[in-house]
């Protein structure tokens, strides 16, 4: 007789407390293999697939799409064959939990997984425990060429049937723009439809109610909720101050053009600024720090894990370049490019979005000159860079047109005073104006 085993939502990293169900990848009654992904969830950090450590027949699944599941709450129950169940018991006796793919091993002393024998909980759909014959093969599913869970969610929220959408991506892949065109087409059809007769007021009322609902309160969930909580905490706990200076970036841009005139990988402005930041933090190490949770001390970080703001499908995220201080300008550029592409495609992992010690914020890409950003808690400092634009500037005692940018520096006033922050910003500005200074720092 099969043994029903319960798989609970694991901690997906960095102390996350829950995740939102984006898409179920299995159905009740389906036979799954060990470590087969069963559900796609969205955490505050990324969209990930969760594999189940049991193989067998899915007897129940918990949570609807769009519902948030707490860490440790049941995800699915699986009817496991007796032989596999006996093997699992041996593992439990040794108090070593079989690791999930990508999630590491449980801490010693916590014991094995819980085992539930019998039918699933009343809220779940149960399957008869005895399985004398193999279930009939289900009808072949309709294969819809779509990969992104964000595209699926948009289609679901807008009531678009993906089976009727023609994809414009490679091999007919359905992209976000395809769904948006389908939504626009639906709106156009509704707008051109003749007036409904008096007897159709119920349908019209339902449409009006849906429109009114779309104009109401938008719940804070997933990434947006995590960002709101983190920014609120930063603003509440950190006494931040900001200073800024205009810098002549003409020589820096000339250096970039010179570097990119030679064969090899191209160097971005962001990579040059990242290199300047690592050199400046080596001179002012107190700014690569954070205040302890209880506010009783300051943690000085030996490595620079450089975060940078990037715009992705899920909104603004901050990927982290690990050990930035040990990378060359070219290596920084390669890693910045890789993480930027991952942010745009929504493929960043939780590990790539956490652990930063200092943030570089290039808000100039949005066409603005300056900003006073909120610090990325618990970091103590952030360098902001505005757009680089041609302006009249006094150079060599004469008025000239130069490429000028505004640099802003926001810092936790608990870790340093204004003299240290001003010294850091002035050093960065000098490196922007005279990039040859970097050679003297090597």
Q: What is the pLDDT of residue 129?
A: 45
> CB burial class (10 A; 0-12, 13-18, 19+) of residue 16?
middle
Q: What is the pLDDT of residue 231?
A: 86
> Which strand (E) or helix (H) includes residue 78?
strand 74-80
**Is 412 an active-site residue?**
no
Q: What is the pLDDT of residue 118?
A: 36
Among candidate residues 14, 12, 19, the one with its CA nearest the CA of residue 378: 14
Q: What is the pLDDT of residue 41?
A: 86
The neighbouring-strand residues paired with 76 are: 7, 61
* Active-site pick, 35, 305, 413, 430: 413
Give the range among 13-17, 24-28, 355-359, 405-409 with minimum mean pLDDT: 13-17
Farthest CA pair distance, the chain: 93
pLDDT digits (tens, 9 = 90+) for 166-191: 887 766 778 777 887 888 777 666 55
How many whole angstroms separate alpha carbon 41 and alpha carbon 24? 9
Q: What is the pLDDT of residue 119?
A: 36
Which pair of structure tokens corresponds to residue 62? 């918990």
Handedness of CA 377, 386, 220, 14 (dihedral sign): negative
Domains and CATH numbers, the chain: 1-139 (2.40.50.100), 142-182 (4.10.320.10), 239-441 (3.30.559.10)
Q: Is the pTM of this model over 0.95?
A: no
Assess whether pLDDT exceeds 90 at residue 160. no
First to last CA, the chain: 69
Choose between 46 and 188: higher pLDDT: 46
394 phi and psi angles, rounded to 5 deg: -80, 115
Whether the upstream peptide bond of residue 136 has omega within 30° of 0, thus cis, is no
DSSP state of 352: G
Assess whether pLDDT exceeds 60 at residue 147. no
Q: What is the pLDDT of residue 356?
A: 95
Please give the average per-residue pLDDT across 364-393, as a whole number.
Answer: 93
Q: What is the pLDDT of residue 280?
A: 97
Q: What is the pLDDT of residue 158?
A: 81
Q: What is the pLDDT of residue 267?
A: 92
Which pair of structure tokens corresponds to residue 372? 């006073």
Question: What is the average pLDDT value for the chain, to the nearest integer?
Answer: 79
Strands (E), 165-220: none
Give the range among 10-19, 189-198, 210-219, 281-290 with minimum mean pLDDT: 189-198
How many whole angstroms separate alpha carbon 41 and alpha carbon 69? 9
Choose between 42 and 215: higher pLDDT: 42
Please give the average per-residue pLDDT across 378-387, as a whole number.
Answer: 96
Please give the average per-residue pLDDT across 206-218, as a whole number.
Answer: 55
pLDDT digits (tens, 9 = 90+) for 301-324: 999 999 998 877 767 889 999 999
How many whole angstroms separate alpha carbon 34 and alpha carbon 28? 16
Q: What is the CA radius of gyration of the chain?
A: 27
Q: What is the pLDDT of residue 149?
A: 53
Q: Name the pLDDT band for 97 (thresholds 50, 70, 90).
A: very low
Please give the average per-residue pLDDT across 377-406, as a whole number.
Answer: 96
Please give the average per-residue pLDDT across 59-72, as a whole number.
Answer: 88
Assess whether pLDDT exceeds 90 at residue 337. yes
How many whole angstroms separate alpha carbon 227 and alpha carbon 440? 39
Q: What is the pLDDT of residue 60?
A: 92
Question: 3-state DSSP call for residue 31?
Answer: strand
* Active-site pick, 35, 235, 417, 430: 417
Per the CB < 8 A criterion, the answer to whether 78 and 54 are in contact is: yes
Please give the average per-residue pLDDT across 154-158, as a whole number.
Answer: 77
Q: Name the pLDDT band for 106 (thresholds 50, 70, 90).
A: very low
Please give the average per-residue pLDDT across 79-93, as a whole number.
Answer: 57
How many whole angstroms separate alpha carbon 247 and alpha carbon 321? 25
Give the range among 70-74, 219-223, 275-279, 280-284 with minimum mean pLDDT: 219-223
How many whole angstroms separate alpha carbon 138 and alpha carbon 8? 27
For 419, what's the count of Cα atoms within 13 Å in the CB-facing half-sphere? 0
**Is 417 an active-site residue?**
yes
Q: What is the pLDDT of residue 43?
A: 75
CA-to-CA dists, residue 395 to 247, 249, 398, 433, 442, angstroms: 12, 12, 5, 11, 28
How many whole angstroms separate alpha carbon 50 and alpha carbon 346? 16
Q: What is the pLDDT of residue 156?
A: 77
- The residue assigned the tokens 């916590």 is 110
How many whole angstroms separate alpha carbon 236 and alpha carbon 217? 24
pLDDT above 70 as % of the chain:
73
Q: What is the pLDDT of residue 153?
A: 66
Q: What is the pLDDT of residue 271?
A: 95
Assess whether pLDDT exceeds 60 at residue 428. yes
Per the CB < 8 A criterion, the answer to whether 114 and 93 are in contact is: no
> Exposed e or buried b for every residue in 301-331, given b needs 16+ CB within 10 A?
beebbbbbbbebbbeebbbbbeebbebebee
């Amino acid at each position: 007789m099969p043994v029903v085993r319960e798989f609970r939502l694991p901690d997906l990293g960095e102390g996350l407390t829950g995740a939102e169900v984006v898409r179920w990848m299995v159905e009740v009654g389906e036979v799954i293999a060990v470590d087969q992904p069963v559900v796609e969830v969205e955490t505050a950090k990324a969209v990930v697939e969760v594999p189940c450590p049991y193989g067998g027949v899915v007897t129940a699944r918990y949570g609807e799409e769009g519902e948030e599941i707490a860490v440790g709450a049941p995800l699915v129950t699986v009817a496991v064959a007796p032989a596999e169940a006996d093997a699992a018991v041996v593992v439990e006796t040794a108090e070593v939990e079989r690791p999930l793919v990508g999630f590491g091993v449980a801490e010693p002393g916590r014991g094995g997984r819980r085992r539930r024998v019998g039918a699933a909980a009343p809220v779940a759909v149960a399957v008869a425990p005895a399985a004398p014959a193999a279930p009939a093969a289900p009808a072949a599913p309709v294969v819809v060429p779509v990969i992104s869970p964000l595209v699926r969610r948009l289609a679901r929220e807008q009531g678009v049937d993906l089976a009727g959408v023609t994809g414009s991506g490679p091999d007919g892949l359905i992209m976000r723009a395809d769904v948006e065109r389908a939504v626009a087409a639906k709106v156009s059809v509704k707008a051109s439809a003749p007036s409904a007769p008096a007897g159709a007021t119920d349908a019209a009322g339902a449409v009006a109610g849906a429109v009114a609902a779309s104009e109401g309160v938008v719940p804070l969930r997933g990434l947006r909720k995590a960002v709101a909580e983190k920014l609120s905490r930063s603003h509440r706990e950190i006494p931040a101050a900001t200073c800024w200076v205009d810098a002549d970036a003409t020589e820096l841009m000339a250096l970039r053009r010179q570097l990119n005139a030679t064969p090899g990988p191209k160097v971005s402005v962001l990579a040059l600024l990242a290199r300047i930041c690592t050199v400046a933090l080596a001179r002012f190490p107190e700014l690569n720090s954070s205040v302890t949770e209880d506010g009783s001390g300051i943690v000085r970080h030996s490595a620079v894990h450089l975060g940078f703001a990037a715009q992705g499908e899920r909104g603004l995220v901050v990927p982290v370049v690990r050990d930035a201080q040990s990378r060359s300008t070219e290596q920084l550029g390669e890693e910045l490019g890789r993480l930027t592409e991952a942010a745009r495609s929504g493929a960043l992992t939780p590990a790539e979005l956490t652990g930063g010690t200092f943030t570089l914020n290039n808000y100039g890409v949005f066409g603005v000159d300056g900003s006073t950003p909120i610090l990325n808690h618990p970091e103590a400092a952030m360098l902001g860079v505005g757009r680089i634009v041609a302006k009249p500037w006094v150079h060599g005692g004469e008025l000239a047109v130069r490429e000028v940018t505004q640099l802003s520096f926001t810092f936790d006033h608990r870790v340093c005073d204004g003299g240290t922050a001003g010294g850091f910003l002035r050093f960065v500005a000098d490196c922007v104006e005279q990039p040859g200074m970097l050679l003297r720092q090597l």
